[in-house]
Each structure stands twice: as C-alpha cells, then as structure tokens.
C-alpha cells in the first residue's frame, strides 16, 4: 500500500509539473504575442469557441465548431477582415458549466480575443460571468436562456427561449392552427422548459387552449406512449414540441404507431429532423416549425453552405451550424464597423465591438427569405423575423 | 380502456428492459461483477446492425448475426483485457471501475466512428401490429418479437445452465470459484464463456431496443443499461426469471407512474418503488436470501 | 516504543496535511508572481471540490466499507440549499458581507446534506453490498429529479413553492430563486482558493481524526466483521449512520463550494447524476480504498487529466478512458503489483550494490 501511494504521488507530481509547464508555456506565448504585436501576432484575430463535442450534447457543439470553421476559412480565403486573418480554437465543454469555464480559461491562455459560445445555455451563463470580468466580447450562436446575454458584452444569434415560446403561441393563435394544444417537453432541460413556460403564458394571452402538459426527462426519453396517449385522450389536435429533433423523431414514430395524427408544431430544436440518417421523412409530413434555418432551402447562400458542410463532414448541418456560421460573419461585420485591430487589448476590442453591434445589420443563413437582416439591441437580443415552415413531401416549405 | 393501453405500453417497454436485464443478470450471477459496460455493448451491437442493414443494405438477419458475432468477440476481449487481470484484486470495486473505463471507451470510439448525430434505426421486425378493440389498443410487432425473444432466451438460459456440463460449471463457479477450480473446472474459461453469452444477448437486446425505439447515438445504451440494471436488482440479481419479471414490472411501473401520478416525476417514482421493494425484500423479488456467517 | 506508536499514524496524517499546505503555498507563490495559466487558476477551486468529495466518499466506501453510488445526490442537496440561501440573501439582505453569507451557506449546505444522509441512511444501511449500492443510486436520481422540477419564488409575501412554473402563486413582481430545470442563476461568487483549501483541511481533519478515534475503530470493526463487532457490543446502526451522515454532510460542503464557484447551477445528469457519483467513486478506488491521501491525489489527477489532454481534440476523452483503464490495471492487478514489487526490489538491490562498491 505504501509503495502504491508513493507511485501515485510520483504520478501526481509529474502531472502537476506538466500542468505548470503548460501554464508557463502558454504564458510565454501570450507575452511574446503582446510584445511582438507589430509582426506575426498582429496578423490574426484569435477567436475562441466553446461547446460540447463529446457527451450527450456533442451534436450541437460539433455543428457549431464545423460551421464556424467553414465561415472562417471562407473569410480568410477572401482576404480576411480588413486584411487581418481569423483563427479559431474550439474547446470542448461537455455541456457542463464547470468544464465550460475551464475551456474559457484554456482559450484565454491561448490568447483568445473574442468568444463564440458557449453553445448550450447553462455553460453559456457560466462563461458570460467570466467574459464580463475580463470584458471580452462574446457572441453565442445558440445559448437561448435569458441570462446568457445578461451582460452588455454578450450577444446572441438565436432567439431567446421566452421569445420562441411566445412567438409560437402567437403564430398558432393568429393562424387558427389549433383548437386544443398539448405540450410534450423535457423537464430536465433548460431550453425545453424555458420555451414551455413562455408558451403557456403566451397561450393564456392569445386565447389558446392548452389541454395537456406532459414532461419527460433526460433519463427516460425513449418511451413517449403515455405522453401521446394523454394528449390524444385530451382531444388535442395539435402537439407542441419545444424539444430537440432526436426525441421528436421518436415521438413522431410512436404517434404514427398508435394511429394518432395531430399537427405537430415545434421550434428551432426540431430543425435537423430531415437530416437524421435513415429517418422515414413521411413521418414528419405536416410538421410545422418556427426555425431560422432550413438546410434544404434553395437560395444560393444556403446551398453553398450546406454543400460545403456535406463535403467536409459528410453530414447535414442543422440550425446550430447556421447560427455559428452567421456568428462568424457578425463578428466580421462588427470588426469592420468598429475598425478594431488585433494589436488592441481584449477590453478595447470588446468596447468598440459592442458599440458596433448596435449599428450593424447583417444578412445571413438565419435570415434567408425574411427580406431583412438581423440587428441587435443593447440587451444583446437579436432582432430578426422568425420563419415558419411546414414539412411537405419530405422538404421544408415556407408558410405565410 | 386507457388502462389497458397503458398496461400494454408498459409491457412493451418492460420487455426491452427485461431483455437487457437477462444479459446483465447472467454476467452478474456468474462472474459476480456489475458490468457497467453492458449498455455500451448493446449500443455497439445496434450500430453493427445499422451499418450492415441500413448502410450496406444487407438483409436484417445478416445484420443480427454479424452483431452477435461482433459483440461476442468484443465481450470476450473486454473480459480478457480489462476484467480478468483484476479478478484476484484485493477489492471487488477495482473491476467495477475498469468497467466504467470500458464504458467511456466504447462511447468515445462510437462517437469518433459514427459521429454525434442520431441515426434512425430501421426496425428488423416486419410484422404488422396487432390491433384489438377497433384499433383502440394495438400491440406492435416489435413488442411481440421482444417478448417472445425474452421467453425463448430465458428458457434457453435456464436449460443451458441446468442441463449442460458447461452450465453446471457456471453454477459451480458462481457458488465458489476456489472449490470449482479444485473440482477440475476451468474457471477462466467458464467466465469467458459467460461474457460471450452475455454479450451475444446484448447484441440481440441492442437490435430489439433500437427496433422498438429507433434512435441510435453513441449514448443510446447507457440509460437503458442502468434501467436494466435496476430491473435486474428489482427481480433479484443473479436470478434469470427474476430479471424477466423485474424488467416487465419496471416498464409497467414507469408507464403507470407517468400516466397516473406525474410525467415530471417518472424517474423519482420508478426509483422510489425500487427502494420500497428492496426495503421489504432486501434481495429483490426472486433473490436468494443468503445468511451471513461469522 | 510508545513514541513510535504515536508517530506512525500522526506522522502519516502530517504528511497529508503537509501536501495540501505545500500545494497551497506553491500555488499562492505562482499566483503572486503571475506564473500560472488561467486554466490552472480557474481549476483551483474545482480541484478542492473534488478532493473534498473524494475524501468524504472514502469515509463511506473505505472506512465504513459500503458501496455508495449516490454521493452526487448529497452534493446536489448541499449545492442547492447553500446557493438558495445565498441567492435569497442577495435579494433580501444585499448589504450582508460575502464572507459571512458564504460561511452560513456552508453550514446550511452541510446540515441539509447531513440530514438527508440520516434520512436516507436509516433505511439504506439495513441493506448489503450491491443492493445498498443500487438504493443509494436510486436516492441520488430521485433527488436530481425532484430538484429539476422544484420552483421556488420570492415576492413581498415571502417564499412560494411549487412543482410547476404555472401553478406557483407568486405576485407579478416576484422573482424565482429556483426555477425548475433552469436551476439557480446568479449565485454570488463567494468561494475562493484560500477558503477552499481551508475547507479541504477541515474535511481532512474531521475524517482523519474520526478514523483514528474510538468511533473510527468501531466503524472499521463493523466493516471488517459486522457480526463480530455486534457481539462485542458495538451499536452497528449508530456507527454506520454516523459515518454515512458525516460523509454526506462533507459532500454537501463540497456542493456549496461548487455552487458558489459558478454563476449557474442546474441539476444535469452530468454534474449531479449517477455519472458524477461514479466519477467520485473512481477517485476513491484509484487512490486506494481507505487511503485518504490517495483519494485526494487521485481526484486531483483525474480532474486535471482531461484538461491536460485538450491538445488531442476529438481523441481527448478516448485517451482519457484508456489512461483510466491502464491506471486501474497498474494499481490493482495482482500481477502488476507483483511486477512492481520485483522492480522495486531490483532497484533497491542496485542501489545497495552501488553503496557497497
């Protein structure tokens, strides 16, 4: 036992030394970057990305990482921003607040000047606390909880949860899509329960009749027969699904198996359902969703992006990817507007860019077909038009 | 009417748990270890079938057979590399931890090979659902096949253990490894065989799990794995009929809990019932009560 | 002879305290001179959190000899009750000094987790082995599930509690303190490296003293042979419960520390589910069951490891899994231990030979 301990101690000592060395190493990098701003250091803006690339939420982080890299490569190939190149370093946070702070610190050591992320809400809130302290510019593609952009250095591309829930209720009510609505949501997920809550309060003000509110959790998300049965028994002619498409695909399959065919209405989390490998798209026929992005839209921008993504990663991008792609172009626009340069301090870059954010108007993948770009207010919330689409013949079709 | 529907849904879900629990309880009963990687072997089995059937377009039966072979080999390899060296370790917890390591390893290998996006698994069952009472109640083909498989496997396992020499050797090893060795039983071989059978069952469970609930990701196996573990404990871990009954009951409790109490608290209800059962019957429903001696 | 006896255990303990204090001093020097990466700086508090968790679980697993798979549940109770108090105080008494608030939060977290420990321990400790493990796992999952649907709001009339957002009877201008799955946001960042080290030292002090006391010997007697211990008049239930609830209370302390290091607290499977319980168990087993120092060191290594492997990008967690398996085999496989001992003996022989020549 004693020897064992000794060995462990030796191991830990070496681990510590390693940690120290990486610490010193990156410190060295930073200082050299600071002093030699004139030459190589000044040529690039260092953008840090944070999101889950392993674990249950890996899909979202991977999409953001890949899409952001595509946007950066495009911009660099076209000569960069004001002549400066962009460089991305993407760190895994495993969809965990603590790991996201670690990822942020790694990026800080690397010399990141702005942050794209975090991809998911709870890590994003934790990171925003740190970027606030350091006054570093942060833009999240998809962190939708209200608190993600509570500080003035934080902005987002996606809609906030309350915004989506309310917009959905409004849309359903204004277009008379349903008499009775049932909700199936993930009670262990921030995104899903956030939208559910605002949908319920929105439903009250738009006179929608919510007849059933059923939940599932991350630990029991294979069988949805009870939730569907209750919706059916309550006579719901519409089921609102403020959840991600992996669970939605199961719900659609099971509803079909039990012969229940209400209208399904969902938010941006549903986007991607047609891209699930081997999914029978007939099951998704008639599903409506409010989403900023449709992977099979026929405009030039989307077609170019989707084909490039497929070519590189052999996969169809979802709305996380679109948000990330736009986030990089928003950064580009903000840099151009504010005229910041890589040799400025992180804090100066942030101050100038957050002022510029309020003035720019950017068109991107997530505003395609709305006829307007996106702009931001001082709260960090994006201002753009939600798009409603309906799945017809295995493809998105616009709704008016 | 809705009661019957819920009951049938519960049995469908429970039959999947039962099938996984059979593999779990088999390994636990003989090798006396909680194989936390069992759920991930299930996932590998499902991915193998997916690759063979959906990507390469071969018939389902080929996919299932290949999955069984792959998982059997994988199970034996895992046992040889990660579990066997620790069989004589001073604490039985050591092997539990390597099982967790293997679980992480399999998940991350699948993540790198297949990516994080979910795959929609094509059901290997082509049977039409049985519709009763004017289509008010329907039993899917997957449920029928899963329950039949459970029963066949359960009877098969019991016959194998009680009637064959290798099965008797397994019983002996589970009772007392040392004594079994003295009686000339190849303990290492017997345990390897147990893992082979357990993993082959995992492959079948994986295929049927994903046929019933067709969403496949690298993390598909982990939660059903834990639930099946709960089911196995529920029925009395180590007991083969216990695993079957435990699985079915767990499914029914989960569905009834959601239906009649609260869908938000489904997990709490399932685990709450488990606790109550174990407090009343500390070794599960069909578990043997072993008196500890000084 | 007497001197030898005293010094053996206390010397061992001194080494344990010494390691912590030296680590603290080294880190403080590095912090002072700025020679430390942001990553390390950010990880100082989490490292202490995991060390406390590992040490506290070792009390249950190593000293009491019962396998618990629900330790993260107690951490969750501590984290949420501590953070709840702090958030409440931020709204109700904004003028309260941070240090005092944090001190009370720690006490509340410890007491609440300890109470849950007693509550859960009474039924659970009647069971044995794997059945006990599964029931602790079940309790951990129940706690996580309930916390996820708990809504607590504060308005001028006081606190309101409900299990859904819509059923809560709170006035318009009230604020949510715990908002279901969204948990608690805006917990004040009251923790710090120094206070974390102090808490770690207190944890060590409690556990090490317990182990070397009469109570500790009674607990270990129960572990080694319950029936024999009972026959010499040891109150089994009392001592088991004592060890279990102290272990839970210390996990609660770690939870409070965890909650006050991040501005957001949610009960995800990742941080408070059975995954985390198992992770803590990995620290304990890898570090050597019953070895307090070992589990502390294993916690530090295994928490740092994924961060140090970040350079491997997609292969990071894969390599982590392999390293974990290899370390387990190296530390536990009888063949490896034998080989290591032979190697040690050879080295010693070599050294001796050198000295002779």
- Bridge partners (DSSP) of residue C158 are C155
Which pLDDT belongs to residue A30? Answer: 38
Q: Does A29 touch chain C (CB under 8 A)?
A: no
Shortest CA gap C265–chain A (Å): 8
Per-residue pLDDT of chain B (294 residues; tens, 9 = 90+): 688 889 988 998 999 999 999 988 888 888 888 888 999 999 999 999 999 998 888 999 999 999 999 999 999 999 999 999 998 888 888 898 999 999 999 999 999 999 888 888 888 888 888 887 776 777 888 889 999 999 999 999 999 999 999 999 998 998 888 899 898 899 999 999 999 999 999 999 999 999 999 889 999 998 888 888 889 888 887 888 999 999 999 999 999 999 998 888 888 998 998 899 888 888 888 877 655 444
| Range A304-309 contact pairs with CB under 8 angstroms and sequence separation of 24 or more | A305/A67, A305/A70, A305/A365, A308/A70, A309/A66, A309/A67, A309/A70
Which pLDDT belongs to residue C6? Answer: 55
Residue of chain A whose Cα is closest to the Cα of C145: A188
In the three-class reduction of DSSP (H, G, I as helix; E, B as strand; rest coil), residue A187 is classed as: coil
The answer to whether position C75 is within a domain reads yes
The tokens for A335 are: 């840099």
The answer to whether position C155 is within a domain reads yes
DSSP letter, residue A84: B
Contact B229, C131 (CB under 8 A): no
Q: Does C320 touch chain B (CB under 8 A)?
A: yes
Catalogue all structural domains in chain A, each as residue range(s) with its CATH number. 42-159+308-383 (3.40.50.2300), 162-291 (3.40.50.2300)
Question: What does each C-alpha distance from C210 to A188, A239, C56, C58, C64 come to in angstroms?
Answer: 38, 57, 12, 12, 11
Q: Closest CB to C321: pick one of B89, B105, B264.
A: B105
Asked whether the beta carbons of residue C308 and residue A19 sit closer than 8 angstroms, the reply is yes
Q: Does C201 touch chain A (CB under 8 A)?
A: no
Average pLDDT, chain C: 89
Q: Which domain holds residue C164?
A: 46-356
In the three-class reduction of DSSP (H, G, I as helix; E, B as strand; rest coil), residue B24 is classed as: helix
Contact B274, B227 (CB under 8 A): no
- Collect the ranges in chain A with pLDDT lower than 50: 1-3, 20-41
The tokens for A134 are: 């350091």
Encode pLDDT of C3-62 as tens digits. Answer: 455 567 788 889 999 999 999 999 999 998 888 888 999 999 999 999 999 999 999 999
Q: Closest CB to B213: pick one of A59, A219, A223.
A: A223
Question: What span, in angstroms and rounded, lies between the C-alpha atoms of A353 and C252?
Answer: 42
Q: CB-based contacts of C128: which residues, under 8 Å, 6+ apart? A: B282, B292
| Prediction pTM value | 0.90
Question: What span, in angstroms and rounded, lies between the C-alpha atoms of C259 and C147?
Answer: 14
Nearest alpha-carbon partner for A371 in A356, A361, A381: A361
Contact A291, A387 (CB under 8 A): yes
In the three-class reduction of DSSP (H, G, I as helix; E, B as strand; rest coil), residue C290 is classed as: coil
Question: What span, in angstroms and rounded, lies between the C-alpha atoms of B61 and B151?
Answer: 20
Nearest alpha-carbon partner for A48 in A88, A20, A13: A88
Question: What span, in angstroms and rounded, lies between the C-alpha atoms of C17 and C12?
Answer: 9
Contact A215, A185 (CB under 8 A): yes
Contact A127, A142 (CB under 8 A): no
Burial class (CB in 10 A: 0-12, 13-18, 19+), C54: buried
Number of domains in chain C: 1
The residue among C344 and C353 whose pLDDT is bigger is: C344
Shortest CA gap B225–chain C (Å): 13
Residue of chain B whose Cα is closest to the Cα of C123: B279
Backbone Cα Rg of chain B: 19
Asked whether the beta carbons of residue B254 and residue A216 sit closer than 8 angstroms, the reply is no
Which pLDDT belongs to residue A10? Answer: 55
Contact C256, C75 (CB under 8 A): no
Q: How many CB pairs under 8 A join A and C?
A: 168
Q: What is the CATH classification number for the domain harbouring C178?
A: 1.10.3470
Asked whether the beta carbons of residue C297 and residue A9 sit closer than 8 angstroms, the reply is yes
Question: What span, in angstroms and rounded, lies between the C-alpha atoms of A293 and C118?
Answer: 52
Nearest alpha-carbon partner for A42 in A87, A11, A9, A93: A87
Asked whether the beta carbons of residue C38 and residue A105 sit closer than 8 angstroms, the reply is yes
Question: What span, in angstroms and rounded, lies between the C-alpha atoms of B209 and B142?
Answer: 9
For residue C102, the surrounding DSSP H or E stretch is helix C98-124
For residue B132, the surrounding DSSP H or E stretch is strand B130-132
Encode pLDDT of C172-225 as tens digits. Answer: 777 888 888 888 988 888 888 999 999 999 999 999 999 989 999 999 999 998
Q: Closest CB to B292: pick one of C130, C141, C227.
A: C227
Residue reference for tokens 């190493």: A25
The answer to whether position C252 is within a domain reads yes
The answer to whether position C39 is within a domain reads no
- Bridge partners (DSSP) of residue B119 are A277, B216
Report B:101-120 residues touching C (Cβ under 8 A).
101-102, 104-105, 108-109, 111-112
Residue reference for tokens 């938010």: A267
Contact A165, A183 (CB under 8 A): no
Counting as contact any 3 or more CB pairs under 8 A, the partners of C are A, B
Question: What span, in angstroms and rounded, lies between the C-alpha atoms of A328 and A48?
Answer: 11
**Is the model's pLDDT at C1 over the cut of 70?**
no
Report B:113-132 residues touching A (Cβ under 8 A).
115-122, 129
Encode pLDDT of A25-45 as tens digits. Answer: 443 333 333 333 334 445 899
Question: What span, in angstroms and rounded, lies between the C-alpha atoms of A147 and B170?
Answer: 58
The answer to whether position C76 is within a domain reads yes
Report B:181-210 residues touching C (Cβ under 8 A).
none
The DSSP-derived string for A198-250 is: HHHHHHHHTT-EEEEEEEEBTTB-S--HHHHHHHHHTT-SEEEE-S-HHHHHH
**Is the model's pLDDT at C2 over the cut of 80?**
no
Which pLDDT belongs to residue B145? Answer: 92
Q: Does C275 touch chain A (CB under 8 A)?
A: no
Question: What span, in angstroms and rounded, lies between the C-alpha atoms of B212 and B19?
Answer: 12
Encode pLDDT of C255-271 as tens digits. Answer: 999 999 998 899 888 88
What is the length of chain C? Answer: 357
Nearest 5 degrees, angle CA A213-CA A217-CA A222? 100
- Bridge partners (DSSP) of residue A265 are A240, A288
Q: Closest CB to C331: pick one of A4, A128, A147.
A: A4
Q: What ipTM does this complex have?
A: 0.90
Residue of chain C whose Cα is closest to the Cα of B287: C131
Which pLDDT belongs to residue C294? Answer: 92
Burial class (CB in 10 A: 0-12, 13-18, 19+), C183: buried
Contact C263, C185 (CB under 8 A): yes
């Amino acid at each position: 036992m004693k020897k064992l301990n000794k060995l462990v101690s030796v191991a830990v000592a070496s681990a510590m030394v390693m940690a120290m060395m990486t610490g010193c190493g990156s410190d060295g990098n930073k200082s050299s970057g600071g002093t030699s701003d004139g030459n190589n250091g000044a040529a690039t803006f260092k953008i840090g990305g944070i999101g889950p690339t392993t674990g249950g939420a890996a899909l979202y982080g991977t999409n953001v990482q890949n899409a952001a890299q595509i946007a950066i490569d495009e911009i660099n190939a076209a000569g960069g921003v004001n002549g400066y190149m962009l460089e991305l370093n993407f760190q895994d946070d495993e969809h965990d607040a603590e790991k996201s702070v670690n990822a942020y610190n790694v990026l800080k050591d690397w010399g990141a000047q702005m942050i794209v992320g975090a991809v998911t809400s709870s890590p994003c809130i934790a990171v925003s606390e740190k970027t606030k302290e350091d006054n570093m510019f942060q833009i999240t593609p998809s962190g939708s909880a209200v608190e993600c952009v509570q500080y003035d250095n934080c902005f987002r591309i996606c809609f906030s949860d309350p915004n989506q829930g309310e917009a959905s209720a409004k849309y359903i009510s204004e277009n008379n899509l349903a008499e009775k609505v049932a909700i199936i949501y993930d009670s262990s997920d921030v995104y899903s329960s956030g939208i559910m809550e605002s949908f319920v309060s929105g439903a009250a003000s738009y006179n929608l009749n919510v007849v059933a509110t059923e939940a599932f959790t991350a630990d029991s998300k294979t069988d949805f027969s009870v939730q569907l049965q209750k919706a059916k028994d309550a006579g719901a002619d519409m089921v609102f699904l403020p959840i991600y498409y992996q669970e939605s695909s199961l719900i659609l399959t099971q509803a079909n198996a039990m012969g229940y065919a209400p209208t399904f209405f969902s938010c941006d989390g549903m986007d991607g359902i047609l891209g699930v490998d081997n999914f029978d798209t007939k099951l998704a026929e008639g599903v409506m969703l409010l989403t900023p992005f449709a992977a099979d839209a026929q405009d030039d921008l989307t077609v170019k992006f989707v084909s490039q993504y497929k070519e590189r990663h052999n996969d169809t991008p979802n709305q996380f990817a679109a948000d990330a792609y736009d986030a990089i172009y928003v950064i580009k626009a903000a840099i151009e507007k504010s005229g910041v340069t890589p040799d400025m301090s992180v804090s100066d870059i942030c101050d100038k860019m957050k002022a510029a954010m309020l003035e720019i108007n950017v068109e991107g993948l997530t505003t395609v077909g709305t006829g307007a770009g996106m702009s931001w207010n001082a709260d960090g919330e994006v201002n753009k038009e939600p798009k409603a689409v309906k799945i017809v013949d295995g493809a998105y079709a616009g709704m008016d | 009417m809705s009661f019957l529907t819920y009951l049938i849904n519960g049995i469908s879900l429970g039959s999947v748990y039962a099938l996984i629990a059979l593999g779990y309880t088999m390994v636990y009963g003989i090798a006396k270890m909680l194989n936390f990687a069992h759920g991930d072997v299930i996932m590998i089995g499902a991915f193998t079938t997916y690759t063979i059937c959906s990507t390469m377009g071969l018939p389902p039966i080929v996919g299932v057979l290949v999955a069984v072979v792959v998982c059997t080999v994988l199970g034996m390899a895992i046992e040889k590399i990660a579990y066997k060296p620790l069989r004589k370790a001073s604490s039985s917890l050591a092997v539990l931890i390597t099982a967790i390591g293997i679980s992480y390893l399999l998940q991350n290998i699948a993540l790198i090979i297949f990516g994080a996006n979910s795959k929609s698994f094509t059901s290997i069952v082509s049977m039409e659902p049985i519709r009763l009472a004017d289509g008010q109640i329907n039993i899917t083909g997957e449920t029928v096949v899963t329950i039949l498989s459970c029963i066949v496997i359960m009877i098969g396992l019991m016959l194998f253990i009680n009637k064959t020499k290798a099965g008797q050797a397994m019983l002996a090893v589970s009772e007392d490894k040392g004594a079994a060795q003295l009686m000339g039983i190849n303990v290492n071989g017997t345990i390897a065989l147990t893992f082979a059978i357990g993993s082959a069952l995992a492959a079948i469970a994986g295929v049927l799990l994903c046929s019933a609930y067709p969403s496949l990701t690298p993390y598909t196996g982990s939660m059903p794995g834990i639930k099946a573990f709960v089911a196995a404990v529920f029925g009395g871990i180590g007991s083969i009929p216990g695993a079957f009954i435990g699985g079915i009951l767990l499914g029914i409790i989960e569905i009834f809990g959601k239906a009649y109490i609260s869908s938000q608290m489904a997990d709490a209800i399932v685990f709450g019932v488990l606790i109550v059962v174990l407090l009343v019957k500390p070794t599960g429903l069909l578990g043997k009560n072993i008196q500890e001696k000084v | 002879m007497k001197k030898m006896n005293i010094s053996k255990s206390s010397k061992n303990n001194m080494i344990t305290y010494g390691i912590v204090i030296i680590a603290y001093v080294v880190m403080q020097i590095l912090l002072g001179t700025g020679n430390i990466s942001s990553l390390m700086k950010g990880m100082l508090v989490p490292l202490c959190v995991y060390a406390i968790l590992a040490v506290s679980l070792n009390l249950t697993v190593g000293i009491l000899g019962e396998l618990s798979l629900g330790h993260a549940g107690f951490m969750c109770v501590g984290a949420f009750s501590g953070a709840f108090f702090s958030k409440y105080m931020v709204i109700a008494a904004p003028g309260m000094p941070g240090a005092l608030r944090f001190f009370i939060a720690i006490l509340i977290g410890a007491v609440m987790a300890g109470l849950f420990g007693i509550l859960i321990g009474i039924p659970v400790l009647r069971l044995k082995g794997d059945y006990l493990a599964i029931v602790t796992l079940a309790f951990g999952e129940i706690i996580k599930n309930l916390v996820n649907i708990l809504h607590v709001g504060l308005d001028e009339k006081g606190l309101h509690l409900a299990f859904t957002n819509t059923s809560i009877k709170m006035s318009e201008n009230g604020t949510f303190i715990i908002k279901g799955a969204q948990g608690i946001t805006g917990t004040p960042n009251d923790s710090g490296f120094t206070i974390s080290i102090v808490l770690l030292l207190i944890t060590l002090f409690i556990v090490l003293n317990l182990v070397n006391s009469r109570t500790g010997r009674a607990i270990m007697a129960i572990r080694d042979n319950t029936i024999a211990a009972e026959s010499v008049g040891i109150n089994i239930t009392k001592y088991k419960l004592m060890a279990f609830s102290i272990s839970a209370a210390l996990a609660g302390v770690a939870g409070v520390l965890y909650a006050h290091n991040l501005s957001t607290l949610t009960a995800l499977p990742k941080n408070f589910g059975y995954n985390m319980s198992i992770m803590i168990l990995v620290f304990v087993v890898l570090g050597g069951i019953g070895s307090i120092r070992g589990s502390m060191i294993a916690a530090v290594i295994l928490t740092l490891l994924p961060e140090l492997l970040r350079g491997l990008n997609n292969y990071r967690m894969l390599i982590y899994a392999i390293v974990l398996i290899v370390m387990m085999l190296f530390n536990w496989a009888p063949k490896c231990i034998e080989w290591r001992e032979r190697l040690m003996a050879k080295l010693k022989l070599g050294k001796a030979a050198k000295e002779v020549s």
